[in-house]
Structure 1
Amino acid sequence: MPHPTPHLVRLADEIARQLGDHLAILPPHEATQVIARVVDPADGVLGDVTHLVSVSSRFAKEQAERGALPAEVWLALGRAANELDSIGDDLDDHRETLQHVSDRAHAGPAKPSAPVPLVVRRRR
């Protein structure tokens, strides 16, 4: 039986490529729906990637303890998992807004909202 790793690597590349390609050409209401789903920390792609990096960190820890991987790899994966989790929490605050915009577009033509100046605010 052939080893599934090369297939899984190609699959991951293809999923990322297709999501990016399709998202770029979707109508705005569909794009916001996809984005809301992707950033959903529980059921979306971001949540799944966070889980994958977390599992990878545990694997790297075991390998580092055996001396097969440098400890820095385990630490980097652990930091990445924590950062992704934090990013997921930040984005989860906006998931409902994205979904609302998508749902509102299905309800029919609405009065266009006025453009607003973009102000970056960051929580600490």
Structure 2
Amino acid sequence: MQYLLMIYSAQGAGPEYGTPEFGKLMTGYQTMTAEARDNNVFEGGEPLQGIETATTVRVRNGKTEITDGPFAETKEQLGGYYLLNCKDLDEALSYAAKIPTAEFGSIEVRPIWDLTSVSE
């Protein structure tokens, strides 16, 4: 089953870019990604650019509204994701715990709804 592991943290909560601590964080990501690839569960994953690059689209009463920024005001921001194909939720959670940002942020794990199995 596919699971989306969404990586959230507050801006400035993690190590600063260019510091040795940031290098250690990136090494942790490389290690986790390599493990997921080696175990054939990795299907995708990427970091996202900062929230200052976000654009939100809403349609209300037939009118499209476009605003700069994320969809909600929150301290924690979506910074990236992994798409994994795991045997069950427990396996997905074990990978989520290995994501370095879990130490200062949070990882939301959600199963992907397989719409191919839904009959009309």
| TM bucket normalised to smaller | under 0.3
TM-score by structure 2 length? 0.24
Higher helix share: 1
TM-score by structure 1 length? 0.23
* Greater relative contact order structure (CA < 8 Å, 6+ sep): 2
Higher strand share: 2
